[in-house]
Structure 1
């Protein structure tokens, strides 16, 4: 039990003669009590208080003194306290034989008389008993204080919940109620409120029901719970909710109803209003339906107008993007066409003049410009994610390591190249050639961002992205191989980062960049099922990171390039190739190549005329067809129809880009794709390999 005292309880000693005080202090110490010596009666009176455990005095110290102050303090003790006094006497006995002792007993209350001389153990025993009794009083004080605190908490909770407490003594018919309870019935806190007043406050139509509920609770012991109307002294009607329970004393007697009351007028008013609203629900539903229909029609009109405006905005943005794209294309292609047409005009003029010595130079200039134009279209196709890829299981770490020497030579000696690759890298399904181009392009961009030198760090690692990590990157959760290129260059501002993947957008000086490098990398990453992200800080550098999906098969070993291409393979006698292309110049070039290789050639300008040839008895060893053909039949449809007529027909598609809607995911067995523009040697090798039955012509 907690003893909430301000200081440790002490026994008070008032034995002012001789060595009595020191002897008493020693004996009380044996009884387990700490003591305090009061040398005079005034100090004793001052020390009396709730924390004193008992008082030890001698009768002669009190004889002839005014005990009024001490008697007043004893009489003013709280109900739990009965401070023990031990009075040492010299003869005369207790109050029954000694008038002086009787006077002390009357003044001090709880007095034990000990006649001297006595055995010390007797005083120790009496002191121990007094201390034990006083400790029980302290425990009673602690319980009383806890009960008071509990009562205060209960009252606080009742006030917070606006609950009024009350108690009804059933046998005496006495009602005791709190101020909050009186307020529920419209009474002030100081106004008397009897059980008769309570009955008079209940609405006449509810009074019998209330009294029946009280009788049932008393008789059957069930909880008393009821709601009824109340009539306030000002004539207004309110609602009260009453809850109570019958309690009895420890002997099962003196039954009382103890409970709480609350004002529920606001709730009842809301319920009545709701009931009234429900009674007119059908009418209001019809009215509301009409209003909603009108609002719906208005919303449809507004949505249509908003959609029209959004279409106008999208069209405006599309035209702006197309303008930017076509402007960049026109600039670059005009430069390239100027080189091609100028070289051809000079070539034509030199032939007329008979000056053949410079022909090779002009031919080389035209071929170089044409090659650059082809590279430009490949970059555009990469950005649009419609380039023809040759995906293979690839070890990105091994691929990056193989490029380290080329990257170091490309960026120059003023830039340090660091490369780290995690062990046990997962393979990823990508076109290794395109990935090499992307990595080299990123390193060149990093070099250009560090004109005064710096450091490039290439990192390859496995990463697993959970949904929270994958969503901001525009990826699905799962495993990815991360290829990051970090430089210590000038960095990019947020608005530059936002536009970095736009085609033809570049911050490099005129003539030093096409603005297609990052857009090509973005298109390649997205077409490979991955993503690319940029993190950059102005003045601190840039990190560009590719995320490529994990592939579950092992990576293939890198292919060794052939060092001696050799002579173009020649046709076997009678081998025939059907060429289908709506562009006469392309047909002419293919037929010329076929003729140089010894193949017989058949020509068709669209899918339907090509199908007629396939239906005929003419020999066809290989079908060479453009993918996009006019007349309602594309190249893939022609190939499928041709194979239905001639099972095992070999097919070579030549196309500007591989249209997924036409080609499907990848060509099937016996089919191959050659992307325009192409080298004639490459065309010859593809044709011969397909006719010879090579399952994977390259």
Structure 2
């Protein structure tokens, strides 16, 4: 920052008379302060940077030694040219007065005023001198600013490690700072000519540098470039150079003036970042290509994750619905058990009454339809009791062809091209037949104006989206050329009670039942559909190498009911449901058996610990505190040879269960109950039916 200066004032040396006071008074009128000096030495000492000009009388300098004064004036700054007003006697100007001429020669910038003078003459000369001095002060201020700017520039260049340089475009003379030399690997004492500068530039960058210089000179544009330089120690560095053309019209010269900075660290970082980016780009490209390949084969990773999340949400939702549905269906099953059991017995008592028998049969049919609905609900909940056996799907589908053709009607063409080989799988044939019929009926309903239904059997590799276990699978597919479904409808198609059919034309349980059946058989149901292009339903089932074996022939149920094939037995019946216990006990007693009732597992074990002979135990599976499976294990410890029949509305035995007991599905009729008892009693007492019966009676 420029130093502060005091207000300018004139110095007056007029030791005789009133000249000093008059001059000071006149200067005051023009707004300028003045200081009256006692002698020449005082005047010389008081001259400073803020002195406006000098006022002296000729006689004050006559015979005086002016060397100190002259030395003081010669020592002035380059901007300063201090004026002096000399008051002479009449006719005492320098042209006629040698003393005045000596003053003019010694002091330089001198104005002579002859006395006596008019005040206007003096004030005019004072104003002229002051005006000139003020212009000098302005020059001083500009010089101060330039000096400070130069100092700030030097500080900035040093702080920014910027080297300054100037190239004379005519002579190619190069002037460089120490920092600029350092940028080119030179020490302060070493030279750096323009030729040496050019030779230090990397050969691959040299021509580019020359072209940039020429372009800057020709177009009068800024010169900005980055290039590599080789230091004397052969190390490689990067420089950033900026400059512009500066012309001196007075001298008729032009120079390229600029700065240089070492950007090696930045370039190294950029290079490292570039390599990192290239590596990342390569990895991204590889990953993108991999994702693209994946998309072209299965789906992208993101789509897979989204689909997996959606499947998980759907599975969780279906699991919750399944648990609720299974619980409701189980309770409904128990109610139907009581209804069917009592109706079955009641029918026997009214066999001779045609009207009553007809009414009872109607009630039985309604109850059986309710049982079928319950089975569908349990199938959706994956809790229905399946009778799994090795089955050839080719034979199963072939045997249903006639039924399927009648089901679709004359306006729809059925197509099934059976493969030559067999397709063995472990399934419940009746349930799969119902599932296939349901799929075909759905296909028919999707083609109200006719179309084609195609049934296919093949063995492709399951898509990973199905999340099936390892091993070979069979695919039973039903494809129609109907209306098709959008994605949202497909996603909801297996929800229970969801249907696109008109009210009264479907329960909405068909696909949910098939889904539950497929999962229970360790398979899957897959739907693929597009609006206007039809639907394909795929039932995926595990393949097996097992083949079907004929079951042993048992007595006809009618014969069993006649009482000739089954001996009268003592049966322990266990069930916590009062209505089921009442109807089943009545059915057993109607068959001629003696029944001991227990309403819990604990009560049954107390009876088994007693001395009473028991030929068979029939127990419900789902009971509080101790279920039928746990009761069976405890009962076998007490009576290892005791036959046990497990009655259950659904197969909910744990996966790690080792129980090997026959099961009777709820709801059951007396005829079914008698058939299962006959199997167990005949196995235990072969050929002793009559003797045992007589002993019991």
* TM superposition score normalised by structure 1: 0.51
Pairwise CA distance, 1:565: 4.8
Secondary structure of the 2:539 match is strand
Partner residue of 2:268?
267
Separation in 2 of the partners of 1:408 and 1:561?
Answer: 34
Pairwise CA distance, 1:539: 3.5
Alignment of 1:147-166 (within 5 A): none
The answer on 1:648 being equivalent to 2:620 is no
Pairwise CA distance, 1:479: 2.0
Separation in 2 of the partners of 1:440 and 1:182?
Answer: 81
Are the counterparts in 1 of residues 571 and 617 from structure 2 also a CA contact under 8 Å?
A: yes
Change (3 A) 1:624 1:405: same
Partner residue of 2:663?
673
Change (3 A) 1:384 1:325: closer
Match for residue 177 of structure 1 among 199, 216, 219 = 199
Relative contact order (C-alpha < 8 Å, sep 6+): which is higher?
2
Partner residue of 1:686?
676
Match for residue 424 of structure 1 among 414, 421, 426 = 421
Unaligned runs of 5+ in 1: 1-163, 165-172, 192-201, 212-224, 240-262, 272-312
Separation in 2 of the partners of 1:503 and 1:375?
Answer: 15
Secondary structure of the 1:464 match is coil
Q: Deviations over 1:593-632 (max 9, x none)?
A: 22222222111100101111111122122111111112x2
The answer on 1:482 being equivalent to 2:475 is yes
Are the counterparts in 1 of residues 447 and 483 from structure 2 also a CA contact under 8 Å?
A: yes
Alignment of 1:655-670 (within 5 A): 655-661=648-654, 664=656, 667-668=659-660
The answer on 1:238 being equivalent to 2:262 is yes
Partner residue of 1:492?
485
Are the counterparts in 2 of residues 381 and 657 from structure 1 also a CA contact under 8 Å?
A: yes
Change (3 A) 1:448 1:564: farther
Secondary structure of the 2:488 match is helix
Q: Would you say how many aligned residue pairs link Structure 1 and Structure 2?
A: 413
Pairwise CA distance, 1:635: 0.8
Separation in 2 of the partners of 1:178 and 1:556?
Answer: 96
The answer on 1:407 being equivalent to 2:404 is yes
Q: Deviations over 1:368-415 (max 9, x none)?
A: 111011111100110111111121121101110011122223333333
Secondary structure of the 1:578 match is strand
Partner residue of 1:101?
none
The answer on 1:543 being equivalent to 2:540 is no
Pairwise CA distance, 1:499: 1.6
Are the counterparts in 2 of residues 488 and 541 from structure 1 also a CA contact under 8 Å?
A: yes
Are the counterparts in 1 of residues 318 and 495 from structure 2 also a CA contact under 8 Å?
A: no
Partner residue of 1:519?
512
Partner residue of 1:390?
387
Change (3 A) 1:391 1:572: closer
Secondary structure of the 1:422 match is coil
Partner residue of 2:459?
462
Are the counterparts in 2 of residues 654 and 675 from structure 1 also a CA contact under 8 Å?
A: yes
Pairwise CA distance, 1:235: 7.7
Pairwise CA distance, 1:509: 2.3
Alignment of 1:129-140 (within 5 A): none
Pairwise CA distance, 1:575: 2.6
Unaligned runs of 5+ in 2: 1-183, 185-194, 214-227, 242-256, 273-312, 686-697
Are the counterparts in 1 of residues 443 and 453 from structure 2 also a CA contact under 8 Å?
A: yes
Are the counterparts in 2 of residues 415 and 453 from structure 1 also a CA contact under 8 Å?
A: yes
Are the counterparts in 2 of residues 425 and 461 from structure 1 also a CA contact under 8 Å?
A: no
Are the counterparts in 1 of residues 394 and 423 from structure 2 also a CA contact under 8 Å?
A: no
Q: Deviations over 1:22-48 (max 9, x none)?
A: xxxxxxxxxxxxxxxxxxxxxxxxxxx
Pairwise CA distance, 1:653: 1.0
Pairwise CA distance, 1:534: 1.7
Match for residue 379 of structure 1 among 376, 380, 384 = 376
Are the counterparts in 2 of residues 460 and 481 from structure 1 also a CA contact under 8 Å?
A: yes
Are the counterparts in 1 of residues 325 and 381 from structure 2 also a CA contact under 8 Å?
A: no
Q: Deviations over 1:447-466 (max 9, x none)?
A: 2233333332211122234x
Q: Deviations over 1:169-227 (max 9, x none)?
A: xxxx999837546979x997799xxxxxxxxxx99xx99xx65xxxxxxxxxxxxx646
Separation in 2 of the partners of 1:323 and 1:432?
Answer: 25
The answer on 1:615 being equivalent to 2:609 is yes
Are the counterparts in 2 of residues 394 and 556 from structure 1 also a CA contact under 8 Å?
A: no
Partner residue of 2:545?
552
Separation in 2 of the partners of 1:433 and 1:559?
Answer: 19
Are the counterparts in 2 of residues 572 and 598 from structure 1 also a CA contact under 8 Å?
A: no
Q: Deviations over 1:86-106 (max 9, x none)?
A: xxxxxxxxxxxxxxxxxxxxx
Separation in 2 of the partners of 1:556 and 1:377?
Answer: 30
Separation in 1 of the partners of 2:649 and 2:211?
Answer: 96
Separation in 1 of the partners of 2:594 and 2:613?
Answer: 10
Separation in 2 of the partners of 1:625 and 1:386?
Answer: 18
Change (3 A) 1:566 1:448: farther
Are the counterparts in 1 of residues 446 and 482 from structure 2 also a CA contact under 8 Å?
A: yes
Pairwise CA distance, 1:472: 2.6
Change (3 A) 1:323 1:672: closer
Are the counterparts in 2 of residues 492 and 542 from structure 1 also a CA contact under 8 Å?
A: yes
Alignment of 1:207-222 (within 5 A): none
Pairwise CA distance, 1:471: 1.4
Who wins on radius of gyration, i.e. which is larger? 2
Pairwise CA distance, 1:502: 1.0
Cα root mean square deviation, aligned: 4.8
Alignment of 1:75-86 (within 5 A): none
Q: Deviations over 1:261-317 (max 9, x none)?
A: xx455437999xxxxxxxxxxxxxxxxxxxxxxxxxxxxxxxxxxxxxxxxx99x97
Are the counterparts in 2 of residues 182 and 188 from structure 1 also a CA contact under 8 Å?
A: no
Q: Deviations over 1:337-377 (max 9, x none)?
A: 9xx89x99xx99xx9xxx95521222112111110111111
Separation in 2 of the partners of 1:534 and 1:187?
Answer: 69
Pairwise CA distance, 1:584: 1.5
The answer on 1:441 being equivalent to 2:465 is no
Are the counterparts in 2 of residues 425 and 462 from structure 1 also a CA contact under 8 Å?
A: no
The answer on 1:579 being equivalent to 2:573 is yes
Are the counterparts in 1 of residues 390 and 547 from structure 2 also a CA contact under 8 Å?
A: yes
Secondary structure of the 1:652 match is strand
Partner residue of 1:600?
594
Separation in 2 of the partners of 1:619 and 1:411?
Answer: 57
Change (3 A) 1:617 1:521: same
Which is further off, 651-660 or 599-608?
Answer: 651-660
Change (3 A) 1:500 1:324: farther
Change (3 A) 1:591 1:650: same
